[in-house]
Amino acid sequence: MVILVLAGMILLLASGLYWLTGRWLSLYRIDVKKRNIRLLRLGIVLLVALFCVLWRTTILLVMHLMALFLLMDIGAFVIRRLGAKNREEKWFCTFRRIYHSGLVPVVITCLMLAYGAYNMVHIVPTEYTVSTEKVQSDYKVILLTDIHYDTVQSPDILKGKIDEINAWNPDLIVLGGDIVEEGTSKASMEEVFRVLGGLKSTFGTYYVYGNHDRQDYADASNRTRTYTPQELQEAIESNGITVLCDRWVPVGEELILAGRDDASRLSGRAAAEELLKDTDRERFIITADHQPLETKENAELGVDLQLSGHTHAGQIFPVGYFTDWLLEPNYGKYKEDECTLIVSSGTTGWGFPVRTQGKCEYVVINVNSKNK
C-alpha cells in the first residue's frame, strides 16, 4: 500500500510538471504539441526528478509553481470573462502582458520560500498562562519539542537559545520528543543532549520519546540507524536529563509530571488510566505526550495540563489549515473540561529547511495560583 501511494504521488508530480512546462511554453506562443517540444518537456521532467532526489526542496519549488500557475489560470479565466468588454483598456493590456510573462507564480514562489527559509532560522518564545487552585505558588514550565537536530536547521541556532531560555528562570523543563531523528548522526545526537544538558531549572529537565527519536523509520526510508536506543538513552541520562517513558514523578510538593511513550510504538504503551492510577489527584498533574492524543481521557483522569508537539502546525502553507480542520488539535491552546492542552509547533521543521506556516518556537507556560 505504501509503495502504491508513493508511486501515485510520483506519477501525479511528474504529470503536473509535464503540464506546467507545457503551460509555461504556451504563454510564449510555442506549439507544445510538436514532437521536439514534447521531448524537451519530458527531458525537463527527468532533470527535475533528479534534482528532487539530490535536493528535496525542489519538490516544494515544483509544487508551489504548479499550484500558483493553476491559480493564475483560474484568475485569468475569470478576468477574461468579466473584462471581455474592456480588452482595449490599459489595465486589461497590462494584465495580459503580466500574465503572458509567466513570472507571477515564479516571483510569489521565490518570496514564499525566501520567507520560509528566514522563518526556519528564528526560534521565538510563545507564552501561555494556566490558572489553578491546586497550587499555592506560581511555576514556570518550558517546553521544547521537535528539534530534529542537525537536519533542516543549523545546530548553532539552538545553541544560541540556551542562555535565553535559562534567563526565564524556569522551574521545570520538558523535552517533548523528536529531539533527534533518522537523519541525525550519532555525533549530533550526543551533541544535542550535551547542549540541552546546559538548561537550568529548579526541578530539572525531563524527556519523553517522539516517533522519530529512536529512528524507528530508518528501515522504511532505507536509512542506516546511526545509534541504538540504548546509546540514545545513555546520551540523555549522562547529561542530567531524566527519561519519562510511561512513568510519572513528583515535582516539588505540588506538581506531578507523567511522561507517555509515543503512540507510534508497535509494542504499545501503558494506558493513561494505568499510568496515573497511583497519582495524588490533589496535585497539579502535567502529562507530556509527544502526539496530541487522548486529551479527553486525560481530562477524565484528572490531568490538568497536557504538553504535546508533533504537528509542526503544518509547516508548509496551507497544510496547517487542513491539519487544523482534519486533525485538530493542531497548534496552540485547547481546553477539554478542566484539562488544558498546549500543542507546540516545534523548535524547527521537518523534512524541508523552510517554514512558510507557523513559527519555530519554545513554549513558556506560566502555571499560576488562583489562591493568591
Which grid cell is 371? 489562591
Which grid cell is 138? 506560581
- pTM (2 decimals)? 0.90
Of residues 291 and 96, the one with the higher pLDDT is 291
Banded pLDDT at 213 (limits 50, 70, 90): very high
Q: Average per-residue pLDDT in the chain?
A: 91
CATH 3.30.930.10 fits 124-369, yes or no: no
Q: Could you tell me what percent of the chain has a pLDDT over 70?
A: 97
Decide: 203 and 171 in contact? Cβ < 8 Å: yes
3-state SS record for 214-257: CCCCCCCCCCCCCCCHHHHHHHHHCCCEEECCCEEEEECCCEEE
The domains of the chain are located at 2-118, 124-369
Helix, strand, coil % in the chain, rounded to nearest 5 = 40, 15, 40
Which grid cell is 362? 519554545
Banded pLDDT at 1 (limits 50, 70, 90): low
**Order of strands across the sheet that contains 205-207:** 123-132, 360-369, 139-144, 172-175, 205-207, 241-243
Which grid cell is 199? 538548561
Decide: 291 and 263 in contact? Cβ < 8 Å: yes
Average pLDDT over residues 155-170: 97
CA 32 and chain centroid, separation:
40
How far apart, in Å, are the Cα atoms of 369 and each of 131, 136, 140?
6, 6, 11
Angle at which helix 57-82 crosses helix 2-27, to 10 degrees, equals 50
SS3 state of residue 56: coil
Banded pLDDT at 3 (limits 50, 70, 90): low
Of 63-67, 225-229, 360-364, least confident by mean pLDDT is 63-67
Pair type for strands 339-343 and 305-308: parallel
Q: Could you tell me what percent of the chain has a pLDDT over 90?
A: 65
How far apart, in Å, are the Cα atoms of 14 and each of 38, 45, 46, 67, 113?
14, 6, 9, 14, 21
